[in-house]
Chain A
Amino acid sequence: MNTTIVPILPFLMSGDPSLEALPDHLAEVASLGIGTVELGVPHSDPIADGPVLQAAAHRAIGRGTTLVKIFDKINTIKNIPDVVLFSYFNPLLRMGAEGLLQHLRESPVKALLVVDLPDSEEPDFEAALREGGYPLVPLLAPTTTGSRVRRLLEARPDPGPGACFARRFAYVVARLGVTGTGGETPLAPVARRVAALQGITGRPLAVGFGLSDPGALEAVRAMGATPVVGSALVQALHEGQGLGTFLRPRIGQ
C-alpha cells in the first residue's frame, strides 16, 4: 500500500443513481481490488463542482438522501473499501462535531475531504475530528504557493506509513476551476507540480479535476500519483453504465 501506487480513487455521489445502489457499487469497487473510494455527500450549493456533480447532488437530494441515511447505508456493508467522505462544510456543521463523530465511529470512513473548509477556519471542529481519528485531507490547488503548500501539509499532517492511504494522501487539484470533464486537463503542468510536491513531501498524492480517459489516468500513475475519477464515473452510472464496465479499462483490467 505504501510503496505501490493506489491505482485509482473513484468518486461516487451518495444517492445517485440511488442510495439503494450504493452497497453494490462499493462492493464492486472492493472486488476490483480498489482499496479506497471517495464518497460524496450531496449539497444544495456545491460551489466547487461543475454541472455533472451539481446535477447528481440535486438528484440525490431530490431522492431524499441525507447524511444520516448515507451513514445508515454504508455502516451495514461488510465488503467495503476505505471511505473518504467528501462534503461541503455546512451539512457537517449542521450535524455538529459530536454527532458526526458518533456516526463516523461505526462507519468505514477513514478521513474527510471538506472542500470549503480551509485548515484555520474551524480549529475546534477539525481538532475534534482529528483527535477522533478522522483527519481532513489537505487540498493543493494550482494557485497554492510553495510556502502555503508547506503550511497546509503541516496543518494536516501525514500520520505516517503505518496509516492507510485515505488518512495519508494530499489531494492535488489538477487545474483551475471546478470538477468536471469539460475539456482535457493539460497534463504537463500537473506533472511539474506533482514532481515539485514529491520533492517536498513523501506522502501519497491523488490528482483530480477533469480526468477521465484511460490515457490521462495512466499518465497520472506514471507521475507516481493516484488519479481521481469523479464526474465521468458519476455520469456513466447516471446513464446506466455498469461500474465495473467503466472502471476496469481505467485500471488496466
Chain B
Amino acid sequence: MPFELPTRFGTPGLGGCYAPETLLQPLLDLEAAYLSALGDAVFQAELRRELKDFVGRPTPLTPAPRLAQALGLDSLWLKREDLAHTGAHKINNALGQALLARRMGKGEVIAETGAGQHGVATASACARLGLRCTVYMGITDMARQAPNVSRMRFFGAEVVPVESGQGTLKEAVNEALRAWAARCDSAHYILGSALGPHPFPTIVRGFQRVIGEEARAQVLEQSGVLPDLVIACAGGGSNGLGLLLPFLEDPCRLLAVEAGGHGEALGEHAARLFGGEVGVLHGCKTLVLQDAQGWTAETASISAGLDYPALGPELAALALEGRVEVRRASDQEALEGALELCRAEGILPALESSHALAGLRGLAREGVGSVLLGLSGRGDKDLATFQSRLDQSF
C-alpha cells in the first residue's frame, strides 16, 4: 500500500487497511493531510490554542487519597479527562480531526458514536468550526444515552438512528463507513477510537497522546516519581493508548480494563483479549469477538462505550506482546467502582471509566503502591443507569 506511515502494529502485524476500494484514496488523502498538518506550525499552534481555550487542557491530575486508602494503595492519581469540555477524552481527537477536515476543505463531518461522548465531542467541535455534522448511533445506545442525543442535536448535529443488529456501536460504525463511502468527496469521517483502517488508529492515538504526556509530567511534578502502574479502560482503545503510550519505555506496569459484562459466554461480554481471536472488522486486523464462521459476535456491557467486539489494533498488539496487561471488570464491579469513587472523592465517573476503577481492586495485594488512573469521562450521561441499578442500595 502506498501509505507513508507504518500501517501495522507490533510483531503480530495487526492493523492494516482492509477497506473497500472506494475508501482507499480518501484514506490516502487523509494520511497525507495528517502528515502535512503534523509538520505545519500554524496547524499545531491552532490545535494547542483550541485544546487550551476551548477544551480546557491541561486537565488536572487529582490525588485521590481517600480512595487510595480504601483500596490499600499508597497513592492514587486521577487524570481528569472528565473535566475536558463535553465531559470525556473524546474531544481531543474530535477537535484534532475537525481541524483536519477543515484543512482538507471538507464542509461536512460524519461520525459514529456509542456512549454518545464521541458524538457530542464531534458535534461540539463541528459547531465551533462551522462544519456540518451527521452522527450515526445505534437505537439501543440512543435509549441508554439519551442526554447525549439531546446534546448532539443542540449543537446542530443530525443524529441518525441505526436500527440493525443490536443497535450499538458496531452497527453505528458500519453505517458511518457506508455513509462515508457515499459522501467521501465532500465529507470527512471522524472515527472516534483507535480503530478502523489505517490511518485512523494512528491519527486517533496521535491526538489522544496528550493525555499521557500531560499526566506523566504532572505525576512527576507532584510526586517526583513515576507510578508503579498506569491503568485505563479499553473500548476501542483511544483513551487507553493516549494515556499509556507515553509510559511505554518507563518501568511502569500498564493495564487496560475491558468490559466483562454479565457472563463469560460469547455474547455476554466485550472482553476481546479474553474471548477474541485475530480477525478483520471495520477495516483492521485485530482481536475480534467472533464465531466459527468469522461473523462478529454479539457483545454485552452496561457501558455503551466499551460495548464493541474489537480491541483497537495497536492496543491488541501491545497486549499480545505482553507489554500491556488486559483484564476485565463485570457490569457489577464497574458499578461498585463508580460508587466507591463517588463516596470517597465526590466524583461521578462515566460507566466506561468505572471499569478502570474496578480494575484497582486487588492491585495492593499484588504489591502495587502507586497508581495513575485515566478517568476518561464523567458519569452524568449514565445517571439513568446508575439510578436504576444503584438506587436500591440507598
Contact = CB atoms under 8 A, between A and B. Distances in A.
A61 interface: yes
A13 to B, nearest CB: 15
Interface stretch (B16-24, B63-71, B210-218, B360-368): B16-24
B182 A45 contact: no
B42 interface: no
Interface stretch (A2-10, A138-146, A199-207): A138-146
Contacts of A115: 20
B174 A47 contact: yes
A143 B294 contact: no
Given A47-B174, A94-B293, A94-B294, A120 B182 contact: no
Given A45-B170, A143-B24, A177-B181, A91 B18 contact: no
14 contacts: A47-B282, A48-B20, A61-B295, A94-B293, A94-B294, A118-B17, A121-B18, A141-B21, A141-B22, A142-B22, A143-B21, A144-B21, A148-B24, A173-B21
B21 A140 contact: yes
Contacts of B21: 118, 139-141, 143-144, 152, 173
Given A47-B20, A93-B280, A116-B20, 13 more contacts: A43-B294, A48-B178, A50-B178, A58-B164, A91-B294, A92-B294, A121-B18, A139-B21, A141-B24, A142-B22, A143-B26, A178-B178, A178-B182
Interface in A63-107: 66-67, 88-95
A176 interface: yes
B181 A48 contact: yes
Contacts of A121: 1, 16-18
A234 B384 CA distance: 43
B150 interface: no
B290 interface: yes
A117 interface: yes
A94 B295 CA distance: 9
Which 5 pairs of residues, A with B, have the shortest CB-CB distance? A94-B294, A177-B182, A44-B295, A91-B294, A141-B22
B280 A44 contact: no
Nearest to A61: B295
A231 interface: no
A90 B281 contact: yes
Contacts of A61: 293, 295
A212 interface: no
B225 interface: no
Interface residues of A, number: 41
Contacts of A46: 174
B332 interface: no
A226 interface: no
B185 to A, nearest CB: 7
B279 interface: yes
Contacts of B295: 43-45, 61, 90-91
B17 A144 contact: no
Contacts of A48: 20, 22, 178, 181
B177 A47 contact: yes
B296 interface: yes
A65 to B, nearest CB: 9
A220 B282 CA distance: 32
Contact of B19 (A118, A144, A148, A152): A118
B184 interface: yes
Contact of A120 (B1, B174, B185): B1
B11 interface: no
Contacts of B22: 48, 141-143, 173, 176-177
Nearest to B176: A47
B43 to A, nearest CB: 25
Contact of A116 (B19, B25, B292): B19
Contacts of B178: 47-50, 177-178
A90 B280 contact: yes
